[in-house]
Amino acid sequence: MISFQPTDEEQQLLETVRRFSEDVVIPDAREADVRGEIDPSIRGQYCELGLHLLGIPESLGGIGEFTLTSKLLMEEVLANASVSHALALDSAGLGAQAIIRLGSEAQQQHCLPPVLEEPNKAVAFAVSEADLASHTGHFQTRAEKKGGGYVLNGEKLAVLNADRAEHIVVLARAESGSGFSGVKALIVEKDNPGVTVGSRQKFMGLNAAPTFEVIFTDCEVSSEAELCSAENIAQEIVQVLNIGRAINGARNVAVGQAALAMAVDYAQEREAFGKKICQHQGLAFFIVDKEVALNAAQALNYKAISRVTQGKDATQAACLAINYSNRAAVQATIDSIQVFGGAGFMKDLNVERYMRDARTLANVLGSEAEHNEVLGEYLYPAA
Amino acid sequence: MIELEIPQNLKNIRDMLHGLMKSKVRPLCLQADIDGKYPESFYDEIAPMMSGMSLGGGGGGGGKKGGGMSEAAGMKNMALMAIVAGEEIGWGDPTFALNMPGPGTGGPALAARGTPEQKEKYFGMLEGKGAKWAAYGLTEPGAGSDVANIKTNCRKEGNEWVINGRKCFISNGAKAEWTIVFATVDPKLGHAGQRVFVVEKDTPGLTIGKIENKLGFRASETAEMIFEECRVPAENLVGGEAAYEGKDKAKEGFKTAMQFFDTSRPMVGIMGVGIGRAAYEELEAWIKDNYWLSRPIPRYAAIRDRLFEMQQKLEAARLLCWKAAWMADNGIANTKEASMSKMYGPGIAMEVCSEAVDIMGTHGSLAGTIVDKCYRDIKVFDIFEGTHQIQQTVIAKHLFDRVPMTTG
Ligand SMILES: Cc1cc2nc3c(=O)[nH]c(=O)nc-3n(C[C@H](O)[C@H](O)[C@H](O)COP(=O)(O)OP(=O)(O)OC[C@H]3O[C@@H](n4cnc5c(N)ncnc54)[C@H](O)[C@@H]3O)c2cc1C
């Protein structure tokens, strides 16, 4: 069946999120970008609306009628207002998805309730490393077997919300193997003496979404730390990343749309050479191209997340989606500045923030080459 | 004979400038980007080394002293010299060009159109001790690309002109000793109604409004200038009254605005190339440092292909700028080529910067790096000195020469 129509419940939800975005997020967006963090009171309001429960199964405290697809739709609305807020508010995020998909019931009960009950707590997900190949499983972070557990050594980059994380889910290589086989997902408690949440990393954009370096030095974890209840660990890890790809793709498309909406609006107001600038066909077509790309990208994200929701492997769909979305979003934000001319370059308008945010977000789950590499290994597995 | 090698004298200038950029400017530029300006030490130590070098698009400028590097290079290839220098400056820090004391953007118009007395007085004003600048004020809140449509007005009262209006996005507008200001006696007259003035810094009626906080190009001051019954002496009308009289002279103001584009546009184009090259070099070095160990070969091939494509585009853009400059130096009309270089260079450099950020992954978008700065700086090169779309309209007019093409 093909439908692009959200369910009735989702439509109601999106209405709520739209109001929340307008009343709460947008007024804080520019200030938060300068301040480097969101207004902390927003977390409570977000949780009061139950938005932190989307994408969590009902059995673990989520809301039954809402799936990961609902979560993606919600993230689009939020990211359209401020993607920094969308990320900073996503306390459960991919860390929680990893625990849901790969964890035992005991692990789920241990890790999830705190984040679902307490707005200021988070589960972090540590995947990126200095080595760009990390997303295909070429991790420099090692998990060595010791006793019943593991000893972790390595350095992770750009770990979102690590400062307030009770638990950090870490991907590390334990045995040799291709792709993600031999990679372990381990839960590290925040007060483990072997883990150091390093200094905050500052990026070009996403200024209000705090990310940190996380360093593991002879960090010992017990056997209970290993997320290994899924049938095919490697495949489930990839599926967690696929969820991230679809959702970040959707977030970035929303950033591009926010920028382009401003440009479309402005092009119908601003005059040059006796016409509205959109009446210069060269400029109209320039804008139209971005509109088409963003729409195509959005459809790719929907397909990817709907496959996840249906329990199907989403690797191909998600890799196509994130790369196309990132390209479309980055270009839309760059070109929206162009439509504004000199004014677009100034911090008085949000377009310049969208340009920094889109470029930064495009790298959050890895570069284009990394997703292509994953896709390559999936489509043409090494003999 | 076709030969695309930089002559030795320009190579020397390039190498000297590159050294200066690398050893003196690069180490300061990231902090200057945060602060929105260069430290005093820059003006004490570095700027004097550059004195006499005119970067006003080769269209003149330079103090009465002249000399310096332009003389060393020989006057035959002034435009090419500016292009070769411009790439190194773009590479080092593009705001360097506008931070360098001197007539800067205000120079070419005064040099070409000013009366001898005006040149004597206003170029002279910038000489001597201490860093001094001039500026060029054309853009207004309501008119940027469409310069015929400016609303800042001027009327003559006795021996004075009275200016009212608002200029925005003026580089060095707040710190300039004087600014070339465009105004109109009657907006309905379009270009024909325009008059060009030199307005001195502390003229009553001129106030500096907002200093812009920008995405990039941050170490260059961008200011708003407000004129309220601002009175300037009649002798500050650039070129004098006679220059605006009679049928042939009707578009004098507009010509003053436009005539330097043939040299300034390739200059902006090549600075864009310099920025792209800077990002490219950072990327290449990073790949060499980070990619060997765990890299599967096919993947490296994919990255390598992208590097090659970036190289192709940068080189093609560079050559378009060289060609436009070569034409200018040889007295060949180059309006189309100047626009092509301005359109292509910054356009592909934006792509190159974005590719660099992408390929470097999480490292690429870290704040406070050269690549981050390049990504933020490059965008404006597709906007000022005629936007991408304005270059396209110019090129289209040259390309489709059998039917009338309008900008409107
Ligand atoms: C950092 C910075 C420094 C600057 N320094 C100076 C300075 O020193 N002095 C000065 O005078 N100005 C300066 N400017 C201003 C700059 O020259 C203008 O911003 C530029 O000319 C564009 O004008 P605008 O901003 O009004 O955009 P607009 O002219 O309003 O253009 C808006 C959009 O419409 C498009 N457009 C316009 N006409 C057409 C058409 N016919 N067909 C298709 N598309 C069209 C444009 O390409 C653009 O995308 C500076 C700007 C910046 C950002």
* Token duo for residue A369: 């080459």
The token pair that represents A85 in the structure block: 């807020």
Mean pLDDT of chain A: 95
The pLDDT > 90 percentage for chain A reads 87
CB contacts of B376 in chain A (<8 Å) are 204, 356
Chain A residues whose CB is inside 8 A of the B146 CB are 271-273
> Does residue B64 carry a pLDDT above 90?
no
The CATH label, of 1.10.540.10, 3.40.50.1950, 3.40.605.10, 3.10.350.10, for the domain at B8-124 is: 1.10.540.10
Nearest CA to ligand 1 atom 16: B384
Contact A369 B392 (CB under 8 A): no
What is the per-residue pLDDT for B70? 43
pLDDT at res. B67: 36
Give the tens place of pLDDT for each residue, B353-388: 999 999 988 888 999 999 999 999 999 999 999 999
**B145 to chain A: nearest residue by CA?**
A272
- CA dist list (Å): A175 to A182, B7, B200: 5, 58, 73
Tens digits of per-residue pLDDT, B248-307? 555 566 566 666 788 899 999 999 999 999 999 999 888 877 754 455 444 578 888 899
For chains A and B, CB pairs below 8 A equal 142
Instruction: Answer yes or no: do B214 and A347 touch at CB < 8 A.
Output: yes
pLDDT, mean of residues A325-339: 98
B357 touches chain A (CB under 8 A): yes
Using CA atoms, how far residue B237 sits from A158, B106, B165, B226, in Å, is: 57, 14, 17, 18
Across the range B109-114, mean pLDDT stands at 91
Evaluate: CB of A104 within 6 angstroms of ligand 1. Answer: no
Given a cut of 50, is residue B63 above it in pLDDT? no
pLDDT (0 to 100) of residue B383: 97
**B387–A341 CB contact, under 8 Å:** yes
Name the phi and psi angles at A153, rounded to 5: -140, 130
For residue A374, give the chain B residue with the closest CA: B299
Residue ranges of the domains in chain B?
8-124, 133-246, 254-401
Q: What is the predicted pLDDT for the residue at A120? A: 92
Residue A283 has its nearest CB partner, among B358, B372, B389, at: B389
Q: Which of A148, A155, A159 is nearest to A131 (CA)?
A: A155
Backbone angles phi, psi at A56, to 5 degrees: -105, 130
From the list A334, A337, A369, the residue facing B303 with the nearest CB is A369
Q: Which CATH architecture has domain B254-401?
A: Up-down Bundle (1.20)
Rounded to the nearest angstrom, the distance between the alpha carbon of A284 and the centre of ligand 1 is: 17
Quote the CA–CA distance of B196 and B260 in Å, as a whole number.
15
Alpha-carbon gap, residue B165 to B227, rounded angstroms? 5
- pLDDT, position A370: 86
- The answer, yes or no, to whether any atom of ligand 1 lies below 6 A from the CB of A341, is yes
Average pLDDT score over chain B = 89
Query: With 60 as the cut, is the pLDDT of residue A19 above it?
Result: yes
Give the closest-approach CA distance of A57 to chain B in angstroms.
31
What pLDDT sits at residue A112? 94
* pLDDT of residue B390 exceeding 80: yes
Q: What domains can you pick out in chain A, each with its CATH number?
A: 8-115 (1.10.540.10), 121-225 (2.40.110.10), 233-379 (1.20.140.10)
Q: Exposure string (b/e) for B184-208, b if CB count within 10 Å is 16 or more?
A: bbeeeebbbbbbbbbbbbebeebeb
Which residues have CB under 8 Å from B144's CB, separation 6+? A272, A341, A342, B169, B387
Calculate helix-pair angle for B297-329, B261-290, nearest 10 degrees. Answer: 160
- Best B217, B268, B365 member to test A by mutation, with max A CBs in 10 Å, is B365
Q: Is A338 in the pocket of ligand 1 (CB under 6 A)?
A: yes
Mean pLDDT of B224-229: 98
Nearest residue, CB atoms, B215 vs list A128, A345, A370:
A345
Q: What is the pLDDT of residues B162-182, one digit of tens each?
A: 999 999 999 999 999 999 999
Estimate the share of chain A in helix, then strand, then coil, as percent rounded to the nearest 5: 55, 15, 25
pLDDT of residue A138: 82
Helix or strand (DSSP H, E) at A361: helix A351-361
* Nearest neighbour of B357 by CB, restricted to A138, A363, A369: A363
Nearest chain A CA: its distance from B14 CA (Å):
30
Whether B216 lines ligand 1, by a CB cut-off of 6 Å, is: no
- Residues of B assigned a catalytic role: 385
For A160-186, write each residue's pLDDT tens digit.
999 999 999 999 999 988 888 899 999
pLDDT at B288: 78
Q: How far is A80 from chain B (nearest CA, A)?
A: 20
Protein residue with least CA distance to atom 14, ligand 1: B169
Please tell me which residue, A137 or B299, carries the higher pLDDT value: A137
CATH fold of the domain at B133-246: Butyryl-CoA Dehydrogenase, subunit A; domain 2 (2.40.110)
- pLDDT over 70 for what percent of chain B? 88
From the list B183, B223, B178, B181, the residue with the least C-alpha distance to B200 is B178
ipTM: 0.92
Q: Which residues pair with A165 in a beta bridge?
A: A122
| Domains B8-124 and B254-401 alike in fold | no
Q: Judge whether B160 and B232 are in contact, CB under 8 Å.
A: yes
Please write the tens of the pLDDT for every residue from B194-216.
999 999 999 999 999 999 999 99
The answer, yes or no, to whether residue B73 has pLDDT greater than 50, is no
